[in-house]
Amino acid sequence: MIEWIQNRFKCKLVIHFMDDWLDTAYTTGVFKFLRKKMLEKVNSLVKNSDATMAISNSMANAYQQRFNREFSVFHNGFSIDSIQKYNLKKSSETQKIITYFGSVFEQAQSESLRDLIEVTASIKNIQFKIVTPQYSIPLCKKISTAHNHVQIEEINGSDSQFFETISKSNLLLLPVNFDKESTQFIKYSMPTKLPGYLASKTPILVYGPKEIEQTSSAQEKKWGACVTERNPEVLIKEIHKCLYDSSFQSELLKNSEIFLKKEFDMNQLREDFQAILNH
């Protein structure tokens, strides 16, 4: 269908990879026999496309070798001014709010999210908020059983819910499981919500394996605190720093603003995209 549209209307074909789903698609199950055909089709599309893009530097480097052609890096664009119209005031209550906003899957975030729930249960005056789609709520309830400090809320799809929730929080979470399957799937990805997180003026904690893009980026650019081992003592220590160390918070927020403007500014990304199309 894609090739037919391209040929019929003589339009340019631009491919943007957001996850490394090629490594895991059709590797098991009754449709395993489709993997070879799927890879042949993807290779054909990439070969005949006018431009190819990746969500991160590590993906671009890996895909350049895999497909033997250049890949540009394009993150999710973000209009920095758009967040200003929402209520961004921090809660004045003494209770600290730790928030995870987004989907939760067993092969992606659930075990690391469970770790975070368990270690924060020992902190006084803490609310652990999970804002997630309806399909993730049963799993979230399962991993948070017996923890009264957890509040689960369904995503309603509005920008106001997203921006007001993350901006009123005291710590935002980016968890990834440490198992091989999760690491393989997410290793090149940058979360769609990351620009909003960066713009919220709220510290970010990245908890997951060091091999994945979001962890290595946070460590290199210092826009988020990082815990790259499954160690409860190390994890709780870093959470305390994010919540109560004002100088550490200030450093994270300064670096978050720099990273946001450099990598996600919608106006600059729009110009870069048009330049590639007109090349």
Query: Helices H, strands E: what count in the chain?
Result: 12, 9
CATH number at residue 118: 3.40.50.2000
Residues 45, 152 within the same domain: no
Sequence-distant (≥ 6) Cβ neighbours of residue 227 within 8 angstroms: 205, 206, 207, 234, 235, 238
**Per-residue pLDDT tens over the stretch 256-278:** 999 998 888 888 888 888 888 77
Q: Is 31 domain-assigned?
A: yes
Q: Which domain holds residue 19?
A: 2-74
Report the DSSP beta bridge partners of residue 153: 131
Residues 22, 127 within the same domain: no
- What are the Cα distances from residue 274, in Å, to 55, 56, 277? 17, 19, 5
- CA torsion sign for 99, 186, 184, 212 is negative
Residues 31, 90 within the same domain: no
Residues 231, 148 within the same domain: yes
Residues 44, 119 within the same domain: no
| Residue given tokens 């059983």 in the structure block | 145
pLDDT in tens, the chain (279 residues): 777 777 787 888 889 988 888 877 888 888 888 888 888 888 989 998 888 999 888 889 999 999 999 998 888 888 877 777 765 666 666 789 999 999 999 989 999 999 999 999 999 999 999 999 999 999 999 999 889 999 999 999 888 899 999 999 999 999 999 998 888 888 888 888 999 999 999 999 999 999 999 999 999 999 999 999 999 999 999 999 999 999 999 999 999 999 998 888 888 888 888 888 777
- CA torsion sign for 121, 196, 131, 206 is negative
Q: Is 268 domain-assigned?
A: no
